[in-house]
Structure 1
Amino acid sequence: MTVKAAVIGCGDVSTVHFGAIAKLDDVELVAVCDTDPGRLAAAVAAYGVPGFADHLSLLAEQKPDVVHISTPHDQHAALAADCLERGVNVIVEKPLAHTLEEGRRLIEAAARSSAKIAVCFQNRYNATVQAMHALLSSGELGEVLGASATVMWQRSAGYYQSRPWRGSWAGGGGGLMMNQAIHTVDLLQWLVGDVVSLNGNASTRFLGGTIDVEDTAEFVAEHATGARSAFYATLANAVNAPVTLDIVTEQATLSLRGDLTVTYGDGRVDVVPERVVESGGRAYWGVSHELLIADFYARLGEDGPFWINPSEAAKSLRIVKEIYRQSYPESLAAVC
């Protein structure tokens, strides 16, 4: 049976969603939706399907089985909830929502619905990250003693001026931590354990004349496992350097720098290469969107929620918003 798919939001990251849909057997793209007339017209021309400016009209007329949502952050929760309430399965880009309140709304909508929903933390599907998780879960490395991570990237004023929502609390719900570094925050808490307390700070170090939100942040977190992690991220770097993630255990050190290097206490060294795939997307989006999307479609007939669901995605959202609460105590826009 052919599964009918639609895409809401035809901006930058929709490229990887369209590409993933095209590679799936028995999945047919039936419609696109965007409130921007130019982007909508371009998508209709590129993919040869009907276009809609209103998502409710799309749902009523085309009756898709799965909707991909790749809109600005402030639209994620409302659009996804509308789909779930109509029994339509959803794949939504990160973050879960731009506010904690909207995140809770989506969690509740998912709990009421028989449909499935996935949140795109696709880096969990990276070959290196899967290897790290398997090693840590096996117990053979002993207890995790600590971890650290960095995101040293570059964004220009033009990046924000081309999509003003990215640099605003109202549209993005935050800056660096919500739009770029949240993937690494997600991996840190998934691999090391739930964060039970943290002390952090977010600030605007070089794009203050362009954005209202942060371009630099750091924190120290305590995890439920008893381990401590340190994190630093900035958009002031000269280039988009590889994300780093180091985890120290009783028996080995795991160092992620593109590929994964595992250095054991007895001197052995294993290297797990990251897969390389061709993609129409940007290199810093990672290589695993297609894997997450294919896995979601493969699990549509299974009982129970998809494993990266709103409740799971809320963990990283709460971490980011706690950093904002500590950094901007006077701003409801930052912490809500």
Structure 2
Amino acid sequence: MSEPITTAVVGIGDISAVHLAAIAGNPRVRLVGVCDVDPERAAQASERLGVPGFTDHQSLFDALHPQVVHVTTPHHQHVPVALDAIEAGVHVLTEKPVGHTVAEAEELAERARTASVKVGLVLQNRYNPTSVAVRDALASGVLGPIAGGRASVWWSRPAPYYAAAPWRGRWSEGGGGALINQAIHTLDLLLWFVGDPVTVRGKAANLADDTIEVEDNATIVIDHEGGPRTVFFATNSHHTNAAVELEITGRDGTLTLAAGELRLTDADGTRMLATDAQADGARSYWGLGHALLIDDFYARLDDPEPFWLTPDVGLGALRVLRTTYAQSGLLPDGTPL
């Protein structure tokens, strides 16, 4: 049996739990270290997981030389940590967004294109059975020419959510709110399904939570290559976390995703194409895509080709949402797109 792949996790916040669980569940992978800028959090994770803990990611790279690093930090730290990992010869799997500004994301994307290591981006909803089924249906031509579509994210992020991790509510660290932190996954799917945007017209605002700087509601109209138009809505002001809804309509039929079920309606009636398995617990609406993506990243580590979800893949949704922020007058003076 070959030696396990050594890996480390930088950033021990909420999302790291999903990564750590996937690592623990993969017999080909061995966790060798953790890092967080908060000394207490780093120490607690070190004790709990039985591996060395660090407060500086470069020190971790120098001491442990992991083969892979998972970047699960606040958004503004994604690119600096990833760039340092590439320089150290460490494969990178970074959480979304690829960067908290387009300029930083483009820097990482450019570096990743010529890197000797793999650089992957976590867009786990592309692994959902319903997402795969949408892509298959579109490839089959069952809908005919696409006219347009819609998608919506109705979630809840009350004040305690931001109080627990204040960076989430700040432009300088989060890079935005509902769009960049929660709805970016659904926005990514919409672009993946319908195509690259040609024009973007959006409006984002903070309507319900005056304890944060960033937006909690947004509406975007996107005209795509070839003519389709989609409308996207996201809110963090709902009373609960509802299932994502998405619809794509063509000349010959409509695909509808609701409550984790994908249905096709055409001249033959309505039939179910796929369902998404539901996770357990308070964050069940996150789905199960993380583990599938992480396992796939490790399975492809020895492939000569880049991992299919590169930083370049994440630029589309990031440009759309940051453009919406700019159009809404939300970006602080001097902040790059």
1:324 and 1:333 map into 2 onto residues whose CA distance is 13
Q: Give the equivalent residue in structure 1 for 2:252.
A: 251
Partner amino acid, structure 2, of 1:310: P
User: Which deviates the most, 281-290 or 17-26?
Assistant: 281-290
Q: Which of 110, 113, 126 is the matching residue for 1:111?
A: 113
Deviation at 1:6, TM superposition (A): 0.4
1:166 and 1:227 map into 2 onto residues whose CA distance is 33
Deviation at 1:99, TM superposition (A): 0.9
Q: Name the SS for the 2:264 alignment partner.
A: strand
Aligned residues: 334
Q: Which of 263, 266, 287 is the matching residue for 2:265?
A: 263
1:329 and 1:161 map into 2 onto residues whose CA distance is 21
1:333 and 1:191 map into 2 onto residues whose CA distance is 34
1:299 and 1:329 map into 2 onto residues whose CA distance is 40
Deviation at 1:195, TM superposition (A): 0.9
Query: In the TM superposition, what whole-angstrom CA distance separates every residue of 1:197-227 from its partner, at most 9, and x where no partner exists?
Result: 111100010112x011100000110011311
Q: Give the equivalent residue in structure 1 for 2:24.
A: 22
Q: Which of 151, 160, 163 is the matching residue for 1:161?
A: 163
Q: Give the equivalent residue in structure 2 for 1:125.
A: 127
Conservation of the 8 A alpha-carbon contact between 1:7 and 1:14: yes
Alignment map for 1:75-86 (pairs within 5 Å): 75-86=77-88
2:331 and 2:86 map into 1 onto residues whose CA distance is 35
Conservation of the 8 A alpha-carbon contact between 1:4 and 1:29: yes
Deviation at 1:164, TM superposition (A): 0.6
TM-score normalised per structure 2: 0.96
Partner amino acid, structure 2, of 1:243: V
Q: Name the SS for the 2:256 alignment partner.
A: strand
Q: Which of 20, 29, 45 is the matching residue for 1:43?
A: 45
Q: Give the equivalent residue in structure 2 for 1:87.
A: 89
Partner amino acid, structure 1, of 2:243: P
Deviation at 1:113, TM superposition (A): 1.0
Q: Name the SS for the 1:180 alignment partner.
A: helix
Conservation of the 8 A alpha-carbon contact between 1:31 and 1:62: yes
TM-score normalised per structure 1: 0.96
Q: Give the equivalent residue in structure 1 for 2:216.
A: 215
**Structure 2 residue ranges without an equivalent (≥5):** none
CA pair 81-271 structure 1, distance change in 2 beyond 3 A: same
Deviation at 1:251, TM superposition (A): 2.0
1:253 and 1:101 map into 2 onto residues whose CA distance is 37
Conservation of the 8 A alpha-carbon contact between 2:148 and 2:250: yes
Q: Give the equivalent residue in structure 2 for 1:72.
A: 74
Q: Give the equivalent residue in structure 1 for 2:7.
A: 5
1:225 and 1:308 map into 2 onto residues whose CA distance is 24
Q: Give the equivalent residue in structure 2 for 1:226.
A: 227
Conservation of the 8 A alpha-carbon contact between 1:10 and 1:40: yes
Partner amino acid, structure 1, of 2:275: P
Q: Give the equivalent residue in structure 2 for 1:150.
A: 152
Deviation at 1:255, TM superposition (A): 0.8
Conservation of the 8 A alpha-carbon contact between 2:108 and 2:311: yes
2:186 and 2:335 map into 1 onto residues whose CA distance is 20
Conservation of the 8 A alpha-carbon contact between 1:16 and 1:281: no
Partner amino acid, structure 1, of 2:173: G
2:245 and 2:90 map into 1 onto residues whose CA distance is 37
**What's the C-alpha RMSD, in Å, of the aligned pairs?**
1.5
2:161 and 2:168 map into 1 onto residues whose CA distance is 9
Deviation at 1:41, TM superposition (A): 1.6
Deviation at 1:8, TM superposition (A): 0.3
Q: Name the SS for the 1:151 alignment partner.
A: strand
Deviation at 1:281, TM superposition (A): 7.5
Q: Name the SS for the 2:269 alignment partner.
A: coil
Q: Give the equivalent residue in structure 2 for 1:299.
A: 300
Say if 2:326 is the partner of 1:325. Answer: yes
**Structure 1 residue ranges without an equivalent (≥5):** none
Conservation of the 8 A alpha-carbon contact between 1:85 and 1:109: no
Deviation at 1:105, TM superposition (A): 1.3
User: Which deviates the most, 251-260 or 185-194?
Assistant: 251-260
Partner amino acid, structure 1, of 2:144: G
Query: In the TM superposition, what whole-angstrom CA distance separates every residue of 1:256-293 from its partner, at most 9, and x where no partner exists?
Result: 11111111222142241112345x78223221100000
